[in-house]
Amino acid sequence: MHTTAAQVLASAVPSQQTAKLLREIAAGRHLTTLALSEVGGRSQFWAPLSELRTHEKGFTYQAEKSWVTAAGNADSYISCARVPGAASALESVLLLVERRTEGVRVTGRFEGLGLRGNGSAPVSLDAVQLSADALLTPMGEGASALVGQVLPWFCVGTAAMSNGLCQAAVEATARHLQQAGFAQTGTHLRELPNLRARLAQMSVRSEQARALLGAALSGFNPPAPAPLLPLLQSRLSSIEAALEVCDLAMKACGGAAFSRHLPVERIFRDARAGWVMAPTVDHLQDFIGRLLTGLPLL
């Protein structure tokens, strides 16, 4: 989330505020994040319900954000709102909201499956006053920045994270099959061909997903426009691989995986989030199908 949000700042309309934040980010002193999902808008992050209001000194912003990773720790949020008087949700603008601005309030805490350290929480933005410096894109160009900047970096980051989970599951399973054994026969789990077959399946699925990310990255050379199709395919493949591989790890390692003696149950829980984080698997399949049939992405 931090990397994607930082990339949005780096590509933003230059301002004194973004220049200062980029220096702070480069020095490791500023954590930023994405605050796109809204109560009511649900997973459809590209269609904000919130709308910016103009007044003589700047803008007023009112929004209910449903999930913000690191909500209470991040110093700033990258948000998306409809432009004043927008005719549709796609007439939007990306905004920078600093967490300590008056009206910004974290209203809950993370109570989820796994991901104990991610701190995703709802955030209320109540009559927040913003200056023109807070506008990160020209008015009406929020949706194209979501597609051109947010989506590519989010796909790369979450695909890499899923590939890391796959790798951890393969390593933990391989280790367990070598170490755990049956006292009655003096044999190890690795001597069971069905468990070796599961490990092989896990390893091949992991490497397929990793190879697809590698291929997508070979064409990703910012600031040149991102190759969206392979990046979307890569996120889809990687998050599905993480679910399949972690599920196989739970089966291959048996009750030991279910307990906390092995890291497998944690990896299994963490892998679930990729599927529901927008763009979800459903959105990704739709986006890929749209690109392949010449339809607009949104």
Ligand X SMILES: Cc1cc2nc3c(=O)[nH]c(=O)nc-3n(C[C@H](O)[C@H](O)[C@H](O)COP(=O)(O)OP(=O)(O)OC[C@H]3O[C@@H](n4cnc5c(N)ncnc54)[C@H](O)[C@@H]3O)c2cc1C
Residues that bind ligand X (CB under 6 A): 1, 33-37, 42-45, 67-69, 112, 115, 118, 120, 273, 276-278, 280, 282-283, 286
Residue 103 or residue 114: which is nearer to ligand X going by CB? 114
Task: Report the SS3 class of residue 264.
Answer: helix
Residue with Cβ nearer ligand X (112 or 181):
112
Q: Closest CB to ligand X among 161 and 192? A: 161
User: Does 279 sit behind a cis peptide bond, omega within 30 degrees of 0 on the bond before it?
Assistant: yes
What dihedral angle (degrees, nearest 10) is formed by the CA atoms of 283, 284, 287, 290?
Answer: -110
DSSP collapsed to 3 states, 233-260: HHHHHHHHHHHHHHHHHHHHHCHHHHCC
Residue that is written with structure tokens 């980029």 in the block: 22
75/286 with CB nearer ligand X: 286
Contacts of 264 (CB under 8 A, 6+ apart): 169, 172, 173, 176, 246, 249, 250, 253, 256, 257
In whole angstroms, give the CA distance from residue 146 to residue 82: 13
Closest CA to 209 of 167, 152, 252, 255: 167
Q: Quick one: 99 or 176, whose CB is closer to ligand X?
A: 99
- What minimum distance in Å lies between the beta carbon of 266 and ligand X? 14
Query: Nearer to ligand X by C-beta: 95 or 199?
Result: 95
DSSP reduced 3-state for 136:
coil
**Minimum distance from CB of 268 to ligand X (Å)?**
15
Shortest distance, CB of residue 137 to ligand X, whole angstroms? 17
Cβ of residue 96: shortest distance to ligand X, in angstroms? Answer: 15
Which are the contacts of 59, defined by CB distance < 8 A and separation ≥ 6? 52, 53, 84, 129, 130, 131, 132, 134, 135
For ligand X, the closer of residues 10 and 115 by Cβ is 115
C-alpha to C-alpha distance for 257 and 248, rounded to whole angstroms: 10
What is the Cα–Cα distance from 129 to 296, expressed in whole angstroms? 34
The least distance separating ligand X from the CB of residue 80, rounded to whole angstroms, comes to: 9
Cα–Cα distance for residue pair 80/86, rounded to 1 Å: 13
Least spacing, CB of residue 110 vs ligand X, in Å: 7
Task: Tell me the closest approach of the beta carbon of residue 74 to ligand X, in angstroms.
Answer: 9
